[in-house]
A = this chain, B = another copy of it.
Amino acid sequence: MTQPLKIALAGLGTVGAGVIKLLGENAALIERRAGRPIEIIAVSARDRTRDRGVDLSRFAWVDDAGELSHRDDVDAVVELIGGSDGPALTIARAALTNGKAFVTANKAMIAHHGLELAATAEKTGAALKYEAAVAGGIPVIKGLREGAAANEIGHVYGILNGTCNYILTAMEEAGRDFADVLAEAQALGYAEADPSFDIDGVDAAHKLSILASLAFGTTIDFDAVAITGIRHIIAADIAEAAALGFRVRLVGFGEAGPKGLFQRVHPCLVPIGHPLAHVVGSLNAVVAEGNYVGRLIFQGRGAGEGPTASAVVADLVDIARGEYGPAFAMPVASLARLAPAPAGERNGRAYLRFTVADRPGVLAEITAAMRDAGVSIESLIQRGAAADGSVLLVMVTHECPESSVTDALARLQGSQSLIGKPMLMHILDV
C-alpha cells in the first residue's frame, strides 16, 4: 500500500486547479490519512497556455483528454470537464471499462448516465465516485450511502443550488427584486453569464435525482423531477412570506412511498423554525429523514474551488484506502424502479399571490374559486393599491390536495380580475 495512487486530471478550470493546489498543500496529511501518496501524473485541458495559478510542469500534458483513460501509468481518472455527454462521458466510459477508478464532480452526467457507468464499474471492479457532484464539499453522498445506510429513508430534501440561495437571501435581506440581485450576482461571479441551469432549477434537479437514488435505493430518474425555478419570485413574495412566518428557498424534495417516487425542485415557503430557513447565502444543506436515525442535516459550502476540490480528494482518499463499493450503495440490478408519484394527490398548504385589479367583486371572485375547488384559506393579506392601480393579494391555504389548488387556479384562468399569472408556492411541511 505504499505505492502512490496515480491520477490523471481531465479539465483544469477552477475546480481542477483547486485539486492540484489541495493535493500539493495538504500532501503530507493526505498521505497519512490515505496510507499512501496521491500523485498527479497527467493533466489535460483545452488551453495549455492559460495561467491557472498552479505549476503544471511536473505533470505530463495530454492534448486529448480521452487518452488519460488509456494510460498504463494512471490508476484513477478525475473528470472535471462537465457536460452530461461529450468528452466527459467518453472519458468516464473508457476509464471504467479499463478498470481505472473514476472520480467526477459532474452532476449532469451522473444524473443522466450514472447507472450505466455504475454497471460498467461493477463489471470491471473499478471505483466510481462522485461526492463533489452533489452539494460540493458536504459529504452527503457518503452520508446517505454509508452514514444513513441502516435506515429506510422517508424523504430527502435540501437547498442544492448555492446561486439560487444567494439570490433568495439577498432579496430577503435587501427587499430587492430578482433581476436586480441576479445582475449583481453575475457581476460578482456568483452566477453564470447564462444562469438558466441554476435559476430554472435544472442543476438542483440533477442533484436531487442522485440523492433520491441513494436515499431510496431506486434507479435515477431525472426526467421525472418536476422543476420550477425562481425567476417569477418578486420582492413582495419574500416580504409577505416573511410576514406570515416563512422564508423562501429553492428546495429539491424527494419522497418514496406506496404511490411511487416523488421528486420536485421548486421555490417553497420554509417555516422560520425549520433549519433550512437559516441556511443563507450560497450555502447548501441536505436533510434526510430515516426511520431510525430521525432527521439528519448536512450543511456547508456547495460549490467553489476549495469545497469541490475537498470532495474530489475525499473520493481519491477512499480509493487509495480501498474503501469503496457499489456507486449507488448497491448493485445497479438491486435498485428498484419506482413509478413517478403524482403531485396532485399530495396534501399540503400553499402560498398564492395574485396581482389583481382594484375594483369591486375581485376578492369575491377569487375566494369563490377557492371555495368551489374545496380550498380553505388559512391567512389572507391584501395590500392597498400600488401606483399602477394594482392590488396585491396573498393567501396561505389550509392543508388540502395539491390538485385542489391547481383546480382553483384553473377556475380563475382568463379572469379579467387578474393582472398577470398568479404565483403558487408550496409550503415545506416536513
Give me the interface of A with B, judged by CB distance under 8 Å. Answer: 18, 22, 25-26, 29-30, 32-35, 131, 137-139, 142-143, 146-152, 217, 275, 278, 290-301, 306-307, 309-314, 316-318, 321-326, 329-331, 334
Contact = CB atoms under 8 A, between A and B. Distances in A.
Given A217-B32, A275-B278, A292-B22, A150 B297 contact: no
Contacts of A143: 139, 142-143, 147
B307 A292 contact: yes
Given A149-B314, A150-B311, 6 more contacts: A26-B291, A139-B142, A139-B148, A150-B314, A290-B310, A293-B306
Contact of A29 (B152, B300, B307, B322): B152
Contacts of A22: 150, 292
B310 A151 contact: yes
A314 B18 contact: no
A300 B326 CA distance: 26
Contacts of A146: 139, 142, 314, 317-318, 323
Contact of A150 (B275, B310, B321): B310
Contacts of A323: 146, 323-325
Contact of A294 (B25, B35, B293, B300): B300
A258 B299 CA distance: 29
A275 B138 CA distance: 16
A199 to B, nearest CB: 23
A177 to B, nearest CB: 25
Contacts of A298: 296-299
A278 B151 CA distance: 26
B314 A299 contact: no
A294 B25 CA distance: 15
A149 to B, nearest CB: 4
Nearest to A294: B301
B152 A147 contact: no
A310 B334 contact: no
A298 B144 CA distance: 13
A396 to B, nearest CB: 23
A281 to B, nearest CB: 12
Give the residue among A26, A150, A217, A295 with the most B Cβ atoms within 10 A.
A150
